[in-house]
């Protein structure tokens, strides 16, 4: 059916498919997200909080609930319930305590959680003077990967949401580790 329709009709149709099945993983134009924060604590202390893949609700203020299976190893998974009601199912690709770094990716998309169709990301804790630097970077695709995405599923919307989500998370982590009240 999709083949018979002109492109102008495909975008809304694709959006509908995404919203209903969330299985079209990928489009042609990836976008970057790159956030970092410095924290007045030793890297090991920061890693003790952020390195637990399933423990994200302990530090990310947007995450209401975090449930994991498979532990901190390749193949581990976590299901995040966000405060906005959306759900993110993420799988761990690599987890390296020596490098204080882990890489993971999104399973099925939930446009209610974040208006993106897929992403992969890496979070790394490194020494920075007396304290630490946490870098969180990723690659994602907009929510509607068709040719004419609606504004709320565009590259710009994805960038804004991903940057806000990463920024909120790092601020929450900093507050948590530096002993300030969690939001």
Partner 1 sequence: MSPTRPILLAGLAFVLSIPAVEAGPVYVASQGAGALTRIEAGAGVVAASVAVGQGIAQVAAGPDGRLYLTQPDHAGIDVVDGRTNAVLRRLPFQGQAFGIVASADGASLFVGDWAGGRLVRVSAGTGAVEGSCAVGRDPAGLVLDRKGRLYVADRESRQVSVIDTARMERLATVPVGEGPFALGLNPRQDRLYVANVRSGDLSVIETGTMAVIATVKVGGMPYGVATSADGGLVLVTNQQAGTVVVIDAASLDLKATIPVGRYPEGIAVDGVSAYVANWFSDSVSVIDLRSLTETARIPVAEGPRSLVVGAVSEAVR
* Contact footprint for partner 1 (CB under 8 A): 2-3, 7, 10, 14, 23-30, 32, 34, 74, 93-94, 103, 105, 120, 122, 137, 139, 145-147
Q: Report, in Å, the least distance between residue 118 CB and partner 1.
A: 10
Contact 23, 118 (CB under 8 A): no
Closest by alpha carbon to 177, among 66, 64, 45?
45
Q: Which is nearer to partner 1, 77 or 105 (CB)?
A: 105
Q: Report, in Å, the least distance between residue 101 CB and partner 1.
A: 10
Residue 95 contacts by C-beta under 8 Å, 6 or more apart in sequence?
51, 53, 72, 73, 74, 76, 101, 102, 103
Q: Which is nearer to partner 1, 149 or 169 (CB)?
A: 149
Edge-first strand listing for the sheet containing 31-39? 31-39, 131-142, 116-128, 101-106, 87-96, 77-82, 63-69
Structure tokens, 109? 């998309």
Contact 78, 54 (CB under 8 A): yes
Q: Which is nearer to partner 1, 44 or 96 (CB)?
A: 96
Q: Which is nearer to partner 1, 147 or 183 (CB)?
A: 147
Q: Report, in Å, the least distance between residue 92 CB and partner 1.
A: 10
Q: Report, in Å, the least distance between residue 79 CB and partner 1.
A: 18
- Region of 16 (left: φ > 0; alpha: ψ -120 to 50; beta: rest) is alpha
Q: Report, in Å, the least distance between residue 103 CB and partner 1.
A: 5
Q: Which is nearer to partner 1, 93 or 167 (CB)?
A: 93
């Amino acid at each position: 059916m999709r083949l018979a329709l002109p492109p102008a009709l495909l975008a809304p149709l694709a959006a509908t498919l995404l919203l209903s099945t969330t299985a079209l993983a990928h489009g042609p134009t990836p976008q970057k997200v790159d956030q970092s924060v410095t924290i007045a604590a030793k890297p090991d202390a920061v890693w003790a909080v952020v390195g637990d893949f399933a423990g994200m609700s302990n530090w990310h203020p947007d995450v209401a609930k975090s449930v994991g299976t498979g532990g901190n190893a390749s193949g581990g998974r976590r299901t995040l319930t966000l405060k906005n009601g959306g759900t993110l199912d993420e799988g761990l690709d690599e987890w390296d305590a020596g490098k204080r770094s882990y890489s993971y990716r999104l399973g099925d998309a939930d446009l209610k959680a974040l208006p993106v169709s897929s992403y992969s990301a890496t979070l790394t804790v490194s020494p920075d003077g007396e304290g630490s630097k946490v870098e969180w970077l990723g690659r994602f695709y907009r929510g509607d990967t068709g040719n004419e995405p609606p504004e709320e599923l565009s590259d710009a919307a994805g960038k804004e949401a991903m940057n806000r989500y990463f920024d909120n998370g790092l601020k929450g982590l900093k507050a948590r580790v530096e002993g300030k009240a969690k939001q």
